[in-house]
Amino acid sequence: MHSTTNPPPLPGARPLLDPAAEYKRWITERPLDRITLWGDLHPWLVTRNEDARAVLSDPRFSSENVRPGFPGLQPTTPPRTPGQLFAMDPPEHTRLRRMLIPEFTFRRVEQLRPAIRRVAGELLDRFVEKGQPADLVEHFTLPLPLLTICELLGVPYSDRDFIHQQASAFATVSAGPEAMRAGWAALFGYLQELLAAKSRAPEDDLMSRLATERVATGEATPAEAAGLAVQLLIAGHETTASMLSLGAVALLRHPDQLTALRADPALVPGAVEELLRYLTVVHIGLRRIATEDVEIGGVTIRAGEGVVIALQAANRDPAVFADPDALDFTRDAGPHLAFGHGLHHCLGQSLARAELQIALPMVFHRLPGLRLAAPAPEEFAFEGRAVHGTRELSVAW
Residue ranges of the alpha helices (H) in 91-205? 92-100, 106-129, 136, 143-153, 160-171, 177-200
The rounded distance, in Å, linking the Cα atoms of 390 and 5 is 35
Closest CA to 390 of 293, 269, 272, 252: 252
Instruction: Set out the domains of the chain in order of their start, with CATH numbers.
Output: 21-396 (1.10.630.10)
Decide: 203 and 154 in contact? Cβ < 8 Å. yes
First to last CA, the chain: 50
State the average pLDDT over residues 275-300: 95
Q: What is the pLDDT of residue 2?
A: 47
Q: What is the pLDDT of residue 306?
A: 97
Q: Per-residue pLDDT for 377 more than 60?
A: no
pLDDT in tens, 236-258: 888 999 999 999 999 999 999 99
Closest CA to 138 of 148, 129, 147, 127: 127
pLDDT in tens, 28-83: 999 999 999 887 899 999 999 999 999 999 999 999 998 999 998 777 766 677 88
Closest CA to 194 of 213, 209, 207: 207
The rounded distance, in Å, linking the Cα atoms of 13 and 120 is 31
For residue 299, how many other CB atoms are within 10 A of its CB? 14
For residue 372, how many other CB atoms are within 10 A of its CB? 17
